[in-house]
Amino acid sequence: MTSSSVLDLAPVVPVVVLEDAADAVPLARALVAGGLPAIEVTLRTAAALDAIEAIAAEVPGAVVGAGTVISARNVSDTVAAGARFLVSPGWTDPLLDAMKASDVPFLPGVSTTCEVVALLERGVSEMKFFPAEAAGGTAYLKALSAPLPQARFCPTGGISLASAPSYLALPNVGCVGGSWMVPGDAVAAKDWARVERLAGEAAALRG
């Protein structure tokens, strides 16, 4: 798999925060059944590594990745757990080197034109745009497309079912990241049918 194929797996990549690793497999199965195979499990909780490992082992239809990757240790730990792609909120040279050396696709985070150009200089053309809404949203990404058409993005941060189509219509957007299809109350209630329904709505955003 290339990083391009991560951007092209589905119109939306669910951004998942799990407090309990026991929820990982049923949640991932619901997302896959709804049509969202690429799942970003963020490293914001103690359960994240176990959750990635469980999804990688038990949900063959899922392409599980790690989000909130901010150190070389995060890279090695998540790849060892079975992560098949990496997403960072921002990047530094040491972090970028570690992600490049991991041999899995990665999306380093950017929010400014300078960061985009710096990544292009390093041979990276696919990135996470974060925090998307706060950093300028669709207007900012549209402005980047003319001078930097080779850069391709997965915008994440503040995006909803209602706003996602305007991002997906942009030529430099491959997919969007969001958490609206994994609402906290549904996860807490283990309402996997609701998660699957919301995932199906998100998967249908690009016909």
Catalytic residues: 40, 128
CB 132 within 8 A of CB 157: yes
Nearest to 62 by CA among 26, 89, 17, 104: 26
The residues pairing with 67 across neighbouring beta strands, listed in sequence order, are 42
**Residue 139 structure tokens:** 């207007």
CB atoms within 10 A of CB 117: 14
What's the rounded Cα separation, in Å, for the pair 11 and 106? 17
Whether the link from the prior residue into 131 is cis, omega within 30° of 0, is yes
